[in-house]
């Protein structure tokens, strides 16, 4: 009796497996992977898309930009994702890998901008920083304070040491770990730019420059707080002297408790990031596999939903979630490129 039921169960299972293996050859929902920064925006669009059309809601995995490209470029076919989100542009090496695996035509869609903010609790007053201040406070090696043209281990303990006009509070910055796309962008947009302001660092050869500009100090003032921005916000509330580094959308959600610091005289507001006067902002993208359009149902319609004014426009629902829209002209440009599925060319 028991043996029979075991046999029956096994048989049923294998039939189910065979049946579903057949079903898997025709996937009917869009599969999206990629950046955790784009995830909160993409999920909102996906949900709207699922509700307002007859297509299934796309599935979105948050794998990070690099992990997303790896999955995306693995090949063409239903078992590979159709779209990958990225908080940076595709690299040449990733493009080559895509080509080598048969992913020939890729459509690049820029969706808008995300500002990176340096914020603190509203219990303290907002800081007026420059990128040079941030570099001097956070780099592992900084130019000798005595004026000699060499790098010394970072001696600064308080913001006042860095710049006399700043308060005498201890330097304590909570930020993302090196695996994060936010960290990459922060290093590139703030640290590197500031390092270029020192002629002797700028004159270094490429590798030395990178080492000087990209290395963040490890002696305590910079605290790697993990990828959970919620946690950073809570810690800022508990410690008014601390600063935190994260995406603008998080500042936007928590304006009741935290405030963005001025960077080079500009406060990170929606308008300042949109018109480009706030210096620390980066574009966000997603990439579409052209070979899947028309094979997986709904990709074309998802693209239309994403690139419509009510989604990514000035008053679109993505702007309510903290995405900074592109200027009108750029938006129209991408909209028509997406309509024509213009493939990305990288030489």
Partner 1 sequence: MNNATANGLPPGRRAIDIVNAGLSKRYRRERRFRLYGISAILASLLFLSFLFGSIISKGYTAFQQTFIRLDIFFDPAILSQESLTTANYPGVVKQSLRQMFPEVTTRQDKRMLYGMVSNDAAFQVRKLVLDSPEMIGQTLPIWVAADDDIDMLMKGHFDLDVPESERRINDVQLAWVDRLQQENRVEKRFNRTFFTAGDSREPEQAGILGAVMGSFYTLLVTLLLSFPIGIASAVYLEEFAPKNRWTDLIEVNINNLAAVPSIVFGLLGLAVFLNFFGLPRSAPLVGGLVLTLMTLPTIIIASRASLQSVPPSIREAALGIGASKMQMVTHHVLPLALPGILTGTIIGMARALGESAPLLMIGMVAFIVDIPGGLTDSATVLPVQIFLWADSPERAFVERTSAATIVLLAFLIVMNATAVILRKKFERRW
The answer to whether 100 contacts partner 1 (rule: CB under 8 A) is: no
The answer to whether 60 contacts partner 1 (rule: CB under 8 A) is: yes
Q: Where are the alpha helices (DSSP H) in 177-275?
A: 181-186, 193-195, 199-202, 206-214, 229-238, 248-253, 270-274
Decide if 191 contacts 139 (C-beta within 8 A).
yes
The answer to whether 6 contacts partner 1 (rule: CB under 8 A) is: yes
| Cβ distance to partner 1 smaller for residue 209 or 317 | 317
The answer to whether 314 contacts partner 1 (rule: CB under 8 A) is: no
Region 210-239 residues binding partner 1, contact defined as CB under 8 A? 228-230
The answer to whether 24 contacts partner 1 (rule: CB under 8 A) is: yes
Element (H, E) at 283: strand 281-289
> What whole-number distance in Å separates Cα of residue 254 and Cα of residue 259?
8
Min dist. Cβ of residue 52 to partner 1 (A): 8
Element (H, E) at 141: strand 141-143
| Cβ distance to partner 1 smaller for residue 250 or 334 | 250
**Measured CA angle at 174 (ends 168, 176), to 5 deg:** 150
The answer to whether 193 contacts partner 1 (rule: CB under 8 A) is: no
> What whole-number distance in Å separates Cα of residue 332 and Cα of residue 325?
12
β-pair type (128-129, 262-263)? parallel
| Cβ distance to partner 1 smaller for residue 40 or 244 | 40
In this chain, which stretch among 149-157, 215-223, 249-257, 267-275 interacts with partner 1, using CB under 8 A? Answer: 249-257
Region 103-122 residues binding partner 1, contact defined as CB under 8 A? 122
Decide if 42 contacts 32 (C-beta within 8 A).
yes
| Cβ distance to partner 1 smaller for residue 13 or 200 | 13
The answer to whether 15 contacts partner 1 (rule: CB under 8 A) is: no
Decide if 106 contacts 288 (C-beta within 8 A).
yes
Min dist. Cβ of residue 228 to partner 1 (A): 6
Sign of CA dihedral 41, 42, 45, 50: negative
Count of positions (residues) in the chain: 347
Residues 6+ apart with CB under 8 A from 11: none
- Which letter does DSSP use for residue 118 in this model? E
Min dist. Cβ of residue 328 to partner 1 (A): 19
| Cβ distance to partner 1 smaller for residue 156 or 270 | 270
Report the 10 Å Cβ neighbour count for 206: 7
Among 18, 23, 340, 345, binds partner 1 (CB under 8 A): 23
| Cβ distance to partner 1 smaller for residue 124 or 341 | 124
CA 70 to chain centre: 16
| Residues contacting partner 1: total by CB under 8 A | 44
In this chain, which stretch among 39-47, 157-165, 282-290, 323-331 interacts with partner 1, using CB under 8 A? Answer: 39-47
Q: Which residues bind partner 1 (CB under 8 A)?
A: 2-3, 6, 9-10, 12-13, 16-17, 20-21, 23-24, 27, 29, 31, 39-40, 43-44, 46-47, 50-52, 56-57, 59-62, 78-79, 81, 122, 228-230, 249-250, 253-254, 256-257
């Amino acid at each position: 009796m028991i043996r029979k039921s075991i046999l029956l169960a096994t048989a049923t299972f294998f039939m189910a497996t065979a049946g579903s293996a057949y079903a898997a050859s025709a996937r009917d929902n869009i599969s999206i992977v990629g950046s955790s920064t784009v995830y909160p925006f993409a999920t909102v669009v996906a949900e709207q898309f699922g509700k307002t059309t007859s297509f299934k809601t796309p599935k979105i995995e948050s794998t990070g930009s690099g992990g997303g490209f790896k999955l995306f470029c693995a090949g063409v076919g239903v078992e590979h994702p159709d779209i990958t989100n990225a908080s940076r542009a595709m690299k040449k090496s990733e493009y080559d890998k895509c080509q080598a695996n048969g992913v020939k035509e890729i459509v690049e869609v820029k969706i808008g901008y995300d500002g990176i903010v340096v914020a603190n609790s509203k219990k303290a007053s907002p800081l007026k920083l420059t990128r040079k201040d941030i570099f001097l406070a956070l780099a592992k090696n900084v130019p000798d304070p005595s004026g000699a043209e060499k790098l010394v281990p970072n001696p600064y303990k308080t913001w006042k040491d860095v710049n006399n006009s700043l308060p005498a509070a201890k330097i304590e910055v909570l930020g993302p770990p090196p695996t994060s796309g936010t960290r990459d962008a922060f290093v590139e947009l703030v640290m590197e730019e500031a390092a270029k302001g020192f002629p002797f660092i700028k004159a270094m050869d490429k590798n030395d420059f990178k080492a000087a500009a990209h290395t963040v100090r490890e002696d305590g003032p910079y605290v790697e707080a993990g990828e959970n921005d919620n946690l950073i916000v809570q810690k800022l509330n508990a410690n008014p002297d601390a600063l935190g580094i994260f995406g603008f959308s998080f500042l936007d959600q928590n304006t009741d408790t935290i405030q963005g610091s001025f960077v080079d005289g500009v406060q990170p507001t929606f308008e300042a990031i949109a018109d480009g006067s706030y210096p620390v902002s980066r574009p966000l993208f997603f990439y579409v596999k052209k070979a899947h359009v028309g094979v997986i149902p709904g990709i074309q319609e998802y693209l239309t939903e994403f690139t419509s004014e009510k989604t990514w426009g000035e008053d679109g629902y993505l702007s309510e979630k903290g995405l900074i829209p592109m200027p009108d002209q750029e938006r129209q440009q991408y909209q028509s490129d997406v309509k024509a599925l213009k493939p990305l060319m990288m030489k």
